[in-house]
Chains A and B, each alone.
Chain A
Amino acid sequence: GESVGLHLPTLSVQEGDNSIINCAYSNSASDYFIWYKQESGKGPQFIIDIRSNMDKRQGQRVTVLLNKTVKHLSLQIAATQPGDSAVYFCAEKNTGNQFYFGTGTSLTVIP
């Protein structure tokens, strides 16, 4: 079955530092990956996505890296701000067109 895991359930960083959130996936045939941010009391919010034919994609203050060899995905947040405090999920879309989500990493930004 599918398995999408996150290396750390919690992460604390100082404001202004860079954050790195990691995710491992199990299905080598997955072709599309998304990072979501979920704040308390809200639904997940799309951050950035990447297709399997890419290994890096950059957005505003965020970068997603995909290593298909080890089936690893990471989200890098530059100059982390208090508003970045949330739970971050990675999701993979498999060949059956279903999305599988990890359980999430809780990011806390320390002012």
Chain B
Amino acid sequence: KAGVTQTPRYLIKTRGQQVTLSCSPISGHRSVSWYQQTPGQGLQFLFEYFSETQRNKGNFPGRFSGRQFSNSRSEMNVSTLELGDSALYLCASSLAASGGRNEQFFGPGTRLTVL
């Protein structure tokens, strides 16, 4: 069974641009969560999608948005990029929504660098 895949793996953008990251969960998994990982802040929760609906949202500005498609693939978008958005963006999938005890499987991440 293939794991969680994220594309692209690396991305370089400049301030003010926007970016879209993609995540394909493990087959059969319906929940996708996104996290931002930086050296100083660790992993911070962005949002969770389940069956195309946003279930939870972390404390990030509205420039960060996401969506989930009917095949459970998810995208996240960051508009008007800032230098501080440089980070590793991780996607995690699980069978069900995070309301229960569910193991999350992480992808390798997308390394975003904002210049």
Measuring CB to CB, which residues of chain B are less than 8 angstroms from any residue of chain A?
A: 4, 33, 35, 40-45, 48, 55-56, 58, 90, 92, 97-99, 101, 103-109
Contact = CB atoms under 8 A, between A and B. Distances in A.
A5 B106 CA distance: 21
A59 interface: no
Contact of B108 (A42, A91, A99): A42
Interface stretch (A11-19, A44-52, A64-72): A44-52
Given A46-B103, A98-B45, 8 more contacts: A34-B104, A43-B4, A43-B107, A49-B101, A51-B101, A89-B43, A96-B56, A103-B42
Given A51-B101, A89-B43, A43 B55 contact: no
Interface string A13-49: 0000000000000000000101010000111111001
Given A43-B4, A103-B42, A93 B98 contact: yes
Chain A interface, DSSP helix/strand/loop, else mixed: strand
B17 to A, nearest CB: 25
A97 interface: yes
B98 A99 contact: yes
Interface of A: 32, 34, 36, 41-46, 49, 51, 89, 91, 93, 96-104
26 contacts: A34-B104, A36-B106, A41-B108, A43-B106, A43-B107, A43-B108, A43-B109, A44-B106, A93-B98, A96-B56, A97-B48, A97-B98, A97-B99, A98-B56, A98-B58, A98-B98, A99-B98, A99-B104, A100-B45, A101-B35, A101-B42, A101-B43, A101-B44, A102-B42, A103-B41, A103-B42
Contacts of B56: 96-98
The list of the 6 closest CB pairs from A to B, nearest first, reads A43-B106, A103-B42, A101-B43, A97-B98, A44-B106, A97-B99
